[in-house]
Amino acid sequence: MHLIILILLVLAVIFGPQLWAQYTFRRYSQPSSSIPGTGGELAQHLLERFAMSGVKVEEAGQQGDHYDPTRKVVCLSTRNYQDNSLTAIAVAAHEVGHAIQHHRKEAMLALRTRLAMLALLAQKLGAAAMLAMPLVIFISRAPSSALLMATIGFAALFIGTLVHLITLPVEIDASFGKALPILMQGNYIQKQDEAAVRQILRAAALTYLAASLSSLLNLWYWLRLLRR
């Protein structure tokens, strides 16, 4: 019984933030007559306002909302690009917040981008090491070979976890250090919508929380295995 409760708690902690974020986005996704433009139009306006002429806005379809620092593109899902809802403009401002971080060469985003590229390479090496482990052990007959392969896999997992942990403060800054002040001080939203926009921006910032918690759980699991 205790094991079942523990499993349910772990699942709630990992998947709860993602489900809450999706619910929040849907809740405020209805078009509003008080919002004069779409998310795509607001994003383009903000890029011009902050003199980021090298950055573009794209309708990303099913790829989801994100900022691509390698291409310098603010990517918005079809709904957030075309709609004039609170969710659309809040998410657009959040992604422009990442563009501002990149434009200003802020250290945390730069570190996250470098680590993300390293993590991609490390994941490929880690997967190859895990696949090769049985063959290497069979050929070498040496326990140290298994330890080496496991260490490579663990290092790849650690780098991935580090990327997720660094992502959290980057996302929070994009929401509350950039997007919210822009929307409030620029009078892009009405005062009575502030609470709703805060919820949407919080949801946008916590989108990666589930991945961070899942990575930590995987890291803890492998640490326990290596200690045995």
DSSP run (H or E) holding 67:
strand 66-68
Phi/psi of residue 30, each to 5°? -80, 135
Q: Which amino acid is at 180?
A: L
Question: Within 13 Å, how many C-alpha atoms sit on residue 14's CB side?
Answer: 13
Measure the CA dihedral 86/87/89/90, to 10°: 100
Question: Mutual orientation of helices 2-27 and 194-205 as an angle, nearest 10°?
Answer: 130
74, β-bridge pairs: 57, 67
- CA 104, CA 24: separation in Å to the nearest integer? 30
Residues contacting residue 102 through CB under 8 Å, at least 6 positions apart: 67, 69, 72, 109
Residue among 148, 167, 145 nearest 66 (CA): 167
d(CA 67, CA 96): 8
**Residue given tokens 């926009």 in the structure block:** 197
Q: Which of 58, 59, 95, 194 is catalytic?
A: 95
* Tokens representing residue 208 in the block: 């990666």
* Residue 59 designated active-site: no
Q: Could you give the residue numbers annotated as active site?
A: 95
